[in-house]
A and B are shown apart, each in its own frame.
Chain A
């Protein structure tokens, strides 16, 4: 286990955000809650790293954003995947699967 719960492997936050947004467009807090739920409380990203990641992904053209009203009728910026983002998610998932399998093989080798 990582020393502090919630420390992400470098670069994986981007992939997880893409995965979260693949279901539907979401605002920042929604993404945070979703990540927490899906990881059963292991990942609790703080606002700083989350929004740095949004900025990075948006400038790379992988996500787009739009101000919209929330269900509680406040205004929030909603992020959605672009086609490019969808492609990237697929390729990252494949790569991740390969790496995890490889690491598992190494760790299990006696």
Chain B
């Protein structure tokens, strides 16, 4: 209540300090004079009366202090004094100040960097209009317990059924070969419904969105292009609108240009075309689920309400199309969830780890402050003797530590900015929304907040310790203070540091061992010397299915003639590239009631040489060969996984496997299972694999197959040597053909380990930082203790102790600390790594309490401790007893 007068009164006395003080003095003087006058009336002399009034009512000076210090503005005033004093103290000991500030800068910088990653990836809203109302709508396969995209037919059915959304739109990945204007190039693109951009609430930089008329079969060929492509191909000119580009051989009119940086999903498509214009064979396909749906909730409608209504709509669709849709429900997710994916656990883990680094840094600075406060014990005693209260001294010391931490924070911010740019350059690809990571206002706020908290955290213990200094002994002892107590606190801090460092090292060690194991894991194929790439076939040469087969045959013939190529083949699936051609199937013609309820298998559409190129073992029967053609019976090969699951104790050879819309195939062989998803981890996606020959696929599928077909080839030569030859061979078959997505198989395998690699690199650098800080901590404590014990060491040497004994004593002291820290750290690590195991699937091939890892990181820590003790121990050895004893 009534804050304003209090604040104005305070501000008045702050800014008109002289005047207010004089007024108070006048008033107090008047008070005492009047009191004295009363006494004089009773017969006292003036001098006596004044003295008596002062005794009774308090002297002018004391009263003035009492009144002044009772108000809030006096706190500001003394804080300002404290701050100036603190700055002077730091300037006076630049060595201490720079070490402390640097340590804090590392700690705060690392925290700020990780926080800005968490902020950018997890916390920041999506860059669309009212992103909280955006949702992704998926089909939920109740039988297989997995959610999938939908078919375009599903989307059209939903649109007709009045869905509970303000707007709803469809999009599907598609790539294009652009041949004009400019050089031929393969581009990533997206098919979108006309409502897509308005659902997101995103405007155009130029031009317009698709009209409903364009978003249907037979509509005029139109495209919206990215800002980048517009600059690239049209020089950023407004005349691009209405001009045409040639996509897959079709003249297409550009109607719109997007804003720079726009995207929805993880990559940046360059070309958008209306989804309604897709080929009828795709548009009417209810089985292939290749369309994603994003929608905007109506204001006030909750996710679960929308979910319930959509499930009712889908139930009706299921009833009308029982043979394909029965068993499908709806699942609605906030749009951010699929975009962020499963990095949440990893990022929170790293945030915890970096917090530990900060604690270690704090312990270090607290140690430095303790060492310093021992040296300043005399100063505190004098201040206390002159009347400073304990609270006042604590406040002064906290001001000093907060000043240190804020300076550290400023430097840390600079370090974070630099560190982030380095880290993102190498790691951004491993993170969703990696380009959304900036040092923004909330990050700055975080850094400031954390600096102040940290300043109080590491300043409090030393401040309380030093302010308790007993006056008598420290004044008497001539400044050597009560060293034993300080030393115990310092040792405790070092023990804590070592324990925390061990936990970080153990975490990093486990991830390192995981990656080692992953590299040794059996992939089911031989990744060495395999190169993969895609080819954009010339649209003019591949009008029919026969053309496509012929084009690939011709392409492979040319590639196989390149010297050093040991084999080449085409395939629709390359392991570990996250391609998912999961198709429904059933065996022995036992069709389930609804296709949705059929199990799935990964369909590899490939040629006869695939096994030989990939080094996949043939287990039984034979693989597809040259004789399996369009005119011979359909044959398929299955992997051991499918054989084990669906033919547990029967011979699969000669049995029938049916792929709906494709045909009934006779099983002619069994091959080894290939790790198709991430190495070493069970995946929610299907594990069954089957192979059919690309030369037996019906024409209607062949004309769209080239965007998802890869060439795999085996060669011992360097990629940089082979690739130009390959480009030459591809161009010879058609000058507008492009080679893209060229990557070696080991690169692909390595990329699939990014969920482990990213935390390994970050955690590894934190652990190294922690190790460095801890070794500085050990060094500081041992070195300080040697300085304090020079006298004692001198006596020992004088009494005949060997230099070796002194050395051993000092190192032993360090190792005692190290071993204490180790035993606490190992206990903590055993608990914490178990936690790590339970909330994220990061480890492979190594237990959370892997003894080898714990032993080796302990050895590293002990080694570092010995090194850190070495210098002070050597100094102790060189103590000259005469000098040491004369010192007293």
A interface residues (Cβ-Cβ under 8 A, vs B): 27-29, 32-33, 44, 46-52, 55-56, 58-61, 72, 74-77
Residues of B within 8 A of A55 (CB): 9, 67, 70-71
**Prevailing SS type, chain A contact patch:** helix
Known contacts A52-B67, A55-B70; is A60 also within 8 Å of B56 by CB?
no
CB distance A46 to B57 under 8 Å?
yes
B204 interface residue per 8 A CB criterion:
no
B337 interface residue per 8 A CB criterion:
no
CB distance A52 to B34 under 8 Å?
no
Known contacts A55-B70, A61-B2; is A47 also within 8 Å of B28 by CB?
yes
Residues of A within 8 A of B34 (CB): 27, 29, 74, 76
Stretch at the interface among B58-66, B211-219, B479-487: B58-66
CB distance from B732 to the nearest CB of A (A): 92
Contacts A28-B27, A28-B31, A48-B66 aside, 19 further interface pairs with beta carbons under 8 A come to A27-B34, A32-B35, A32-B57, A33-B38, A44-B56, A48-B58, A48-B63, A49-B66, A51-B27, A51-B63, A51-B66, A51-B67, A52-B70, A58-B9, A59-B2, A59-B5, A59-B71, A60-B1, A72-B37
Complex formed: what's the CA distance from A52 to B66 in Å?
7
Q: Please, which residue of chain B has its CB at the minimum distance from the CB of A27?
A: B30
Complex formed: what's the CA distance from A51 to B480 in Å?
44
B interface residues (Cβ-Cβ under 8 A, vs A): 1-2, 5-6, 9-10, 23-24, 26-28, 30-35, 37-38, 56-58, 60, 62-63, 65-67, 70-71
Known contacts A55-B71, A59-B5, A61-B2; is A29 also within 8 Å of B63 by CB?
no
Complex formed: what's the CA distance from A91 to B23 in Å?
32
CB distance A75 to B30 under 8 Å?
yes
CB distance A59 to B9 under 8 Å?
yes
Q: Please, which residue of chain A has its CB at the minimum distance from the CB of B13?
A: A55
Complex formed: what's the CA distance from A5 to B28 in Å?
23
Complex formed: what's the CA distance from A61 to B4 in Å?
9
CB distance B71 to A46 under 8 Å?
no
Known contacts A32-B57, A58-B9, A59-B6; is A48 also within 8 Å of B67 by CB?
yes
Q: Please, which residue of chain A has its CB at the minimum distance from the CB of B54?
A: A47
Residues of B within 8 A of A75 (CB): 26, 30
CB distance B30 to A76 under 8 Å?
yes
CB distance from A54 to the nearest CB of B (A): 9
CB distance B31 to A29 under 8 Å?
yes
A-B contact pairs, 23 of them (CB 8 A): A27-B30, A29-B31, A33-B38, A46-B56, A47-B32, A47-B60, A47-B63, A48-B63, A48-B65, A48-B67, A50-B31, A51-B27, A51-B63, A52-B67, A55-B70, A58-B5, A59-B2, A59-B9, A60-B1, A60-B2, A61-B2, A61-B5, A77-B27
Q: Please, which residue of chain B has its CB at the minimum distance from the CB of A48?
A: B66
CB distance A47 to B31 under 8 Å?
yes
Complex formed: what's the CA distance from A55 to B57 in Å?
17
Complex formed: what's the CA distance from A59 to B70 in Å?
12
Residues of A within 8 A of B31 (CB): 27-29, 32, 47, 50-51
CB distance from B399 to the nearest CB of A (A): 25
Known contacts A46-B63, A51-B63; is A60 also within 8 Å of B27 by CB?
no
CB distance A29 to B67 under 8 Å?
no
Complex formed: what's the CA distance from A32 to B9 in Å?
24
CB distance from B693 to the nearest CB of A (A): 92
CB distance from A69 to the nearest CB of B (A): 12
Complex formed: what's the CA distance from A46 to B9 in Å?
23
CB distance A29 to B35 under 8 Å?
yes
* Cβ-neighbour of A56 out of B24, B30, B70 (below 8 A): B70
CB distance from B358 to the nearest CB of A (A): 41
Q: Please, which residue of chain A has its CB at the minimum distance from the CB of B27?
A: A77
Q: Which of A29, A52, A72 has the most CB of B within 10 A?
A: A29
Known contacts A46-B58, A55-B70; is A29 also within 8 Å of B6 by CB?
no
Complex formed: what's the CA distance from A75 to B25 in Å?
13
CB distance from A33 to the nearest CB of B (A): 8
Q: Which of A46, A47, A48, A49 has the most CB of B within 10 A?
A: A47
Q: Which of A27, A55, A72, A75 has the most CB of B within 10 A?
A: A55
Residues of A within 8 A of B32 (CB): 47
Q: Please, which residue of chain A has its CB at the minimum distance from the CB of B69?
A: A52
CB distance from A39 to the nearest CB of B (A): 15
CB distance B56 to A76 under 8 Å?
no
Q: Please, which residue of chain A has its CB at the minimum distance from the CB of B55?
A: A46
Complex formed: what's the CA distance from A60 to B2 in Å?
6
Complex formed: what's the CA distance from A73 to B38 in Å?
15
CB distance from B68 to the nearest CB of A (A): 9
Complex formed: what's the CA distance from A27 to B30 in Å?
10
CB distance from B30 to the nearest CB of A (A): 5
CB distance A51 to B30 under 8 Å?
no
Q: Please, which residue of chain B has its CB at the minimum distance from the CB of A28?
A: B31
Q: Which of A33, A61, A75 has the most CB of B within 10 A?
A: A61
Complex formed: what's the CA distance from A33 to B56 in Å?
13
